[in-house]
Amino acid sequence: MSARAWFVAAVAALVATLAASPLAADPATDTAFQRAFGERFFDRYWQLTTDAAIVNGYYRYADSLRVPDAAERATRLEQLDRWLAALGRIDTARLSASLRADWAILDSQFRGERWALTEQRAWQWDPSTYNVATGFAMLLDRTYAPLDERLRTFGKRLANVPAYYAAAKATVATPSREHTQLAIEQNRGALSVFGPELERTLAGSGLAPNERATFTTQLTAARAAIEDYVTWLEALDARLASGAVAPRSFRLGRELYEQKFGFDIQTGVTAEQLYENARAEKARLLQRMGVLADELWPKYFPNLASPDDELVKIGRVIDALSLQHVTRERLVAEVEAQIPELERFVREHDIIDLDPTRPLMVRETPLYERGIAGANVESPGPYDAQAPTYYNVTPLDDLSAEAAESWLREYNRWMLPVLNIHEAIPGHYAQLVYANRSPSLVKSIFGNGAMIEGWAVYSERVMLEAGWEDHKAEAWLIYSKWNLRSVSNTILDYGVHVLGMSEAEVMSMLTREAFQTEQEARDKWKRVSRTSVQLTSYFAGYSAILALRAELQRGRGDAFDLKQFHEQFLSYGNAPVRVIRELMTER
């Protein structure tokens, strides 16, 4: 089946599932579904995905580090097939609306995981797939149990680290050079989890001397295994650079890209359609930015005629605004200081209710997580919902003065708050708090990237519409530039992975037509060469949420309540926007 035919069939199946008449709902069918995909299902799922279990706050198998070899992949495939068969035995037309949505989410999740193992096969060509740091770091960071108990769990996981990396070396074949370099960078960072700070923690613990001795022996072996993997990757990278080994292209290609897009995005359009929509939206945004630049030009260039070239004019105004920025030394502290301001604004403007019991901690991005994005939110799952949410901000210590200044101009006085809106409040942080409260574990755990990123992008617009920065033209121009980034991400991702855009073409588009600094554009090229499809999730989800809001506003008229819309939308966990739309319009 071609990629397009596969996608059309998958969408048709999802639509048919969600559109089944709620009048046919049968409590016995609901019960059968919940029995098949309830607590026992999740327990087995977490047994097979122990790192993901820790991320979600499920610690029953936290002492287990699964070895990523052929036998492990076969076990996962066999289990996925059993789960898909169990789903197939459920009469979806007899399920209640919410459980029909859960059925559709699970079906897509299982098929997506199966596709990743059998078709995409990143486990074979992406060496950055193999990194043990996250699970270990979370066992140290989270206080779900006394320190000594967590150290014992940590120690049991350590025993499998050498076998884990041995399997990684045996599995990697025909890698891309870009993913090899990412693996080197992140696994070097992984060593920080197993360094002196851990030794000090162990020394101050209540573990018995024999326990500490065993722990230390395993820790030494684990470090050696990580160092050996990095050394092996460095030699592999040298062979890839010399041509002794032919590298795989990092570009996914049309067939795999359309299929991955279908599993990951689920907003009702194909990758090609979203690409064309993004190009049209880019033109509309540039027109609006031209009007704002005309308004601001006399204020910032009072004695100078504006350029005839529209892009040059917009760029000059943005450059003037970008000179206002925090110092590199104050970056993390400034982010931390802005969080209470955003909380206050959200409360005062009745955008959504915030949970004051859920802590948000701003910190420097751990070394093992660097190399993809400059800022991100790391949220606990529903099993450990009271654990802190971390807002990771990467300091600029490793950048030259010139590169740091370029980054700071990109995230200037007007832009940095928009980043914090997106990542924190009322963006990712707030949305994930709501997701953890969803009564459906399926909707909370199996997050759809387009819904999650789409909400964060949508929240930026909501804040500007509510009067953040008092509707100043400067704020709207810089926000429009930020929004243009989401649109450009789609054009960039599809253009690179499907249409073969070169690095030079990407740099030209991002710096001239999207007004990004050279440092930001270089970072984006790095990101698109290490990821695929994810960059489209921002515009895909955002445009789908806006369309849903407009649809409900038309239908409800004066009865439409924006805060109610937000909280109802967020109440469905991390479900795809297509699923949420069906539930909200059905109600």
pLDDT at residue 563, as a whole number: 97
**CA-wise closest residue to 360 among 383, 342, 345:** 342
Predicted confidence band of residue 170 (pLDDT cuts 50, 70, 90)? very high
Closest CA to 542 of 431, 438, 389: 431
Residue 373 confidence (pLDDT): 64
- Per-residue pLDDT tens for 181-193? 999 999 999 999 9
| Token pair for 84 | 């898909």
Closest CA to 456 of 436, 486, 414, 411: 486
Task: Average the pLDDT over 398-405 and give the result.
Answer: 90
Q: For position 25, what pLDDT does the model report?
A: 78
Give the pLDDT score at 3: 41
Asked whether the predicted pLDDT for residue 535 surpasses 80, the reply is yes
Overall average pLDDT of the 421-440 stretch: 92
Question: Is residue 394 a contact partner of residue 365, using CB atoms and an 8 Å limit?
Answer: yes
Does the pLDDT value for residue 9 go beyond 60?
no
pLDDT band for 5, please (50, 70, 90 cuts): very low
The predicted model gives 133-142 an average pLDDT of 94
pLDDT value at residue 381: 79
What pLDDT shows up at residue 387? 82
- What pLDDT does residue 47 have? 98
pLDDT above 70 covers a percentage of the chain that reads 95
Stretch 137-145: mean pLDDT: 93
- Average pLDDT rounded to a whole number, residues 152-162: 97
CB-CB contact of 394 with 374 (8 Å): yes
Average pLDDT in the chain:
92
Tokens 């149990």, located at residue: 145
Length of the chain counted residue by residue: 587
Residue 462 pLDDT exceeds 50: yes
Half-sphere exposure of 456 (CA within 13 A, CB side): 23
The pLDDT confidence band at residue 1, using thresholds 50, 70 and 90, is: very low
Contacts with 434 (C-beta within 8 Å, 6 or more apart), sequence order = 352, 567, 570, 571, 573
Angle at 360 between CA 359 and CA 362, to 5 degrees: 140
pLDDT at 399: 87
Mean predicted confidence (pLDDT) in 310-323: 96
Q: Which of 144-153, 274-283, 385-394, 549-558 shows the lowest mean pLDDT across its residues?
A: 385-394
For range 107-128, the mean pLDDT: 96
pTM attached to this predicted model: 0.87
Q: Is the pLDDT of residue 412 over 90?
A: yes
- Sequence-ordered list of residues with C-beta below 8 angstroms from that of 143, at least 6 positions apart, any chain: 387
Instruction: Note the pLDDT of residue 64.
Output: 97
The residue to which tokens 């060593």 are assigned? 191
